[in-house]
Structure formats: structure tokens, C-alpha cells
């Protein structure tokens, strides 16, 4: 199920963020660049193993096991060529393949040998084409993506725009994306109408409903070099969703003893606002800080603060301990097991939407020898990142991520 990847993704993308530039880089002048053949710039491979456990499964109304494992792999190929006008054309192809097993999803139909959603594989390719000017730093790009899983498929498209000031001290980035999803509406076994299928194409040919869920997101960011040592970035990412936003295989229990499938509004506005500061203490230490405020029209309010301190041990080995704290005020639609008002229009017992606080702590180690990792000149860097997540609801998880870069 797509929903389970949201928490995984937030942790999984941490290592990808560490690939971003941390110091202003000189802009290349391609005026005399003669070769216009498409060439490979770099290849990235990222693999992550995630495991969680807890006792507040939304599938069974906010109680029961949340045990889950996810093995995620992403292959990224970046190629480029220069046009006759000197513009750089970059193609970035990414292929992701995730496989998960979920004990709680097996409770959708506990009477079957195995629920169709107990384990699944998600495949998600994407392609980005960007045209940039090496002299000015300005760029424009287009992205297309697709994702498929047992109970949904998604088509995505987007644009990206970059503008850089003449001094190269200020950069503005804009992104806009749309994802058009179709969900297979799987219901708990005891709440299915007569003749309604289980959703398992292999074992059950009875019909099920399909519902849309469309997501529209934008991102505005401005990066500024404040001093020789200090950089900052301001990020605003408004988004809107419409369609089936409730997860219909999740149960909710009421004070009168009744049980229903989760029901939430069919639209949602989100507004995260973040600010980042990077301070270069000296040649060996960098202090990276980040703060984000989040709000939506379901009543959720959240604050997130993060610090990471990369330490350069040698010219090619660095270690980056990090810590993130999050506190959240939950949606007005949440209530624990058996505490929903029977007259309520919307309701959920999904603890991801509850009031909570969490801690995430870990470290990243990066190897980038001048002669290549293990003496291979094309194997330019190796990163290993590990983190432990603790939530006040009792959910705990661990993630280990390996990233390899080849040029």
C-alpha cells in the first residue's frame, strides 16, 4: 500500500540530500566546448532497509501490530550533452523498486490464507530533462513519472525552473508537480457489501471499486550566500489533494460498539514552510540546521527541527551525526480505538494523524578517495547512513541506507 512509504521516504531521502552542494561552486564556461555527444555524467545506486514495530495499527482500529519491513532500491542515471548554442541538456533517468511486508495489512482479511496486501512490490520509473546555461546558472526542465503497486497506479508530470543572480550569491528554484492516482478500494472482510470482491485478482474475480486521488504540489525556494561562511535557504511548498484520501481498509470503532471504514474529507490543503542555515566553521566542520512549520486544513500543526554536523576526518572521509525532533498536533478527526462519536462525519484511528512527538537520531559516513573507492577511479563515493526513530505513540523503527556513486 502506498501510504506506508511516507514515513520511510522521509528517512530514506536523508542520504540523497547529503549529495547536494554545500559550498558555492565555480560556474563552468562551455563557450569553447566542442563535443556534443551524449555522455554519462554519473550513476547513483541507493539501497535502504527499513524495519518498524509498534502497537497502533490503523487497519485494526488503532490497536494491533504495526510490524513492517521495506527494502527500497533506486538506480539513477544522469547523462548530458551540449547543443550547438552551448546549452547543456541533461537527462536524468531514475528507476525505483521497493518490496515490503506488512503484518497489519494481513488483518484486512484474517480468514484468508494471506491477504493480497500483506506484501507487495512497488515500481516507479521517472525521467527528467533539463536545459541549463553554464554561464548564468539558469535552467528549465520537465519531468514524467509512473508508479505501480498492487492497489494503485500513478502518472506524474512536473516542471522545474532555476534562476541565478549575476553575482551567483542568490538562487531561486521553482517546481510544480501533478500526480494522477487511481486506487483500488479494498475493504475489511466484514464490512464488504454482498458481492463485493476482496481485491485479489489471483483468487477473486468479484468486482471492486476504483477511485481517483489527484495531488498538486509546488515548491518555491530561495538560497542566499550571506557571508563567506554562512548560507541560508527559505522553502515554501504548498500542495493540494483531491479524491479518495481515506484508506478504506482501515477500521474505526465507535463508543456504541459499531465499526466502520475510515472516512476523511475528499480534499486537503498543506502548507510546509522551512528555513535552512549552513555554517562552515572551518575546513573540517560544517553545521547544518533546518526548521519546518507545517499546517493543513485538517487541523494538523507540526514543528520539525534538525541539526547535522559533518566532520571531515581526512581529505576523503567524513562522518555526519544528525538529530531531528518533531512535534505534532493531530487532526480533529482522530480518536483512539473505540472512542469515536457515532454522529461524527469524518473519523480515523491512524496514529500518523494523531498528536505526537518523535526523535530521529543517527549518523552518515562518506568515503570519497581521490583515486576512487577501492582504487576504482570511476567509483567516486560510498555513503552509509543509519538512523533510529522513536515516536511517543510507541512506534520504533530503524533504517540503514547505502549509496554508491559512479562517474
Count Cα atoms within 13 angstroms, Cβ side, for 147. Answer: 19
**Domain containing residue 325:** 2-21+42-406
Q: Look at residue 32 and tell me if it is in a domain.
A: no
* pLDDT tens column, 212-232: 999 999 999 999 999 999 999
Number of separate helices (H) and strands (E) present in the chain? 2, 20
Q: State residue 27's pLDDT score.
A: 40
* Structure letter (DSSP) for residue 56: B
- What mean pLDDT do residues 36-41 have? 86
Residue 72 maps to which CATH number?
2.40.160.40
Q: Which residues pair with 182 in a beta bridge?
A: 153, 212
Inter-residue contact 241 to 213 (CB < 8 Å): yes
**Mean pLDDT confidence for 88-116:** 81
**Structural domain contains residue 29:** no
- Give a yes or no: residue 121 inside a domain: yes
Kindly tell me if the per-residue pLDDT of 320 is higher than 70.
Answer: yes
Q: Is residue 235 part of a domain?
A: yes
Under 8 Å between Cβ of 263 and 346: yes
Q: How many CB atoms lie within 10 A of CB 244?
A: 20
In angstroms, how far is CA 40 from the centroid of its own chain? Answer: 26
Q: Is residue 120 domain-resident? A: yes
Q: Provide the whole-model pTM.
A: 0.88
282: left (phi over 0), alpha (psi -120 to 50) or beta: beta
Q: What is the CA radius of gyration of the chain?
A: 23
Set of cell numbers at residue 21: 552542494
Residue 27 resides in a domain: no
**pLDDT recorded at residue 198:** 83
Q: How many Å apart are CA 355 and CA 1, to the nearest integer?
A: 23
* pLDDT in the model for residue 201: 63
147 within a domain of the structure (yes/no): yes
* Count of domains observed in the chain: 1
For the chain, what percent of residues have pLDDT higher than 70? 88
Specify the pLDDT at position 104. 76
Place of cell 473505540: 338
150 is a domain residue: yes
In sequence order, which ranges of 222-315 are alpha helices (DSSP H)?
none
Asked if residue 19 has pLDDT above 60, the reply is: no
Amino acid at each position: 500500500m502506498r501510504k506506508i512509504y511516507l514515513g520511510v521516504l522521509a528517512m530514506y531521502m536523508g542520504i540523497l540530500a547529503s549529495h547536494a552542494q554545500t559550498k558555492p561552486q565555480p560556474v563552468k564556461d562551455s563557450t569553447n566546448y566542442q563535443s556534443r555527444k551524449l555522455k554519462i555524467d554519473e550513476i547513483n545506486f541507493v539501497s535502504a532497509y527499513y524495519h518498524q514495530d509498534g502497537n497502533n495499527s490503523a487497519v485494526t482500529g488503532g490497536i494491533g501490530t504495526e510490524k513492517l519491513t521495506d527494502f527500497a532500491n533506486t538506480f539513477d542515471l544522469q547523462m548530458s550533452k551540449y547543443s550547438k548554442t552551448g546549452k547543456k541538456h541533461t537527462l536524468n533517468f531514475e528507476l525505483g523498486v521497493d518490496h515490503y511486508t506488512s503484518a497489519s495489512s494481513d488483518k484486512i482479511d484474517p480468514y484468508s490464507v494471506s491477504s493480497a496486501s500483506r506484501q507487495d512490490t512497488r515500481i516507479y520509473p521517472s525521467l527528467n530533462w533539463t536545459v541549463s546555461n553554464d554561464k548564468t546558472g539558469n535552467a528549465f526542465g520537465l519531468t514524467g513519472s509512473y508508479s505501480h503497486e498492487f492497489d494503485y497506479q500513478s502518472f506524474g508530470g512536473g516542471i522545474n525552473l532555476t534562476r541565478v543572480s549575476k553575482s551567483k550569491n542568490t538562487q531561486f528554484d521553482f517546481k510544480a508537480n501533478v500526480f494522477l492516482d487511481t486506487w483500488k478500494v479494498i475493504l475489511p472482510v466484514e464490512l464488504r457489501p454482498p458481492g463485493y470482491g476482496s481485491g485479489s485478482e489471483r483468487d477473486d474475480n468479484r468486482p471492486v471499486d476504483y477511485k481517483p486521488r489527484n495531488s498538486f504540489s509546488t515548491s518555491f525556494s530561495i538560497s542566499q550566500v550571506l557571508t563567506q561562511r554562512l548560507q541560508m535557504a527559505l522553502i515554501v511548498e504548498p500542495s493540494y489533494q483531491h479524491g479518495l484520501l481515506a484508506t478504506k481498509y482501515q477500521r474505526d470503532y465507535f463508543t456504541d460498539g459499531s465499526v466502520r471504514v475510515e472516512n476523511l474529507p475528499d480534499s486537503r490543503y498543506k502548507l510546509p514552510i522551512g528555513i535552512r542555515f549552513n555554517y562552515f566553521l572551518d575546513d573540517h566542520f560544517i553545521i547544518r540546521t533546518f526548521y519546518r512549520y507545517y499546517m493543513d486544513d485538517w487541523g494538523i500543526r507540526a514543528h520539525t527541527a534538525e541539526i547535522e554536523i559533518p566532520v571531515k576526518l581526512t581529505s576523503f572521509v567524513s562522518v555526519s551525526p544528525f538529530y531531528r525532533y518533531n512535534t505534532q498536533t493531530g487532526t480533529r478527526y482522530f480518536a483512539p480505538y473505540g472512542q469515536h462519536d457515532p454522529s461524527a462525519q469524518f473519523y480515523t484511528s491512524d496514529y500518523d494523524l494523531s498528536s505526537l512527538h518523535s526523535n530521529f537520531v543517527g549518523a552518515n559516513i562518506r568515503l570519497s578517495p581521490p583515486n576512487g573507492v577501492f582504487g576504482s577511479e570511476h567509483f567516486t563515493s560510498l555513503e552509509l547512513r543509519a538512523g533510529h526513530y522513536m515516536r511517543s505513540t510507541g512506534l520504533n523503527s530503524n533504517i540503514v541506507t547505502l549509496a554508491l556513486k559512479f562517474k
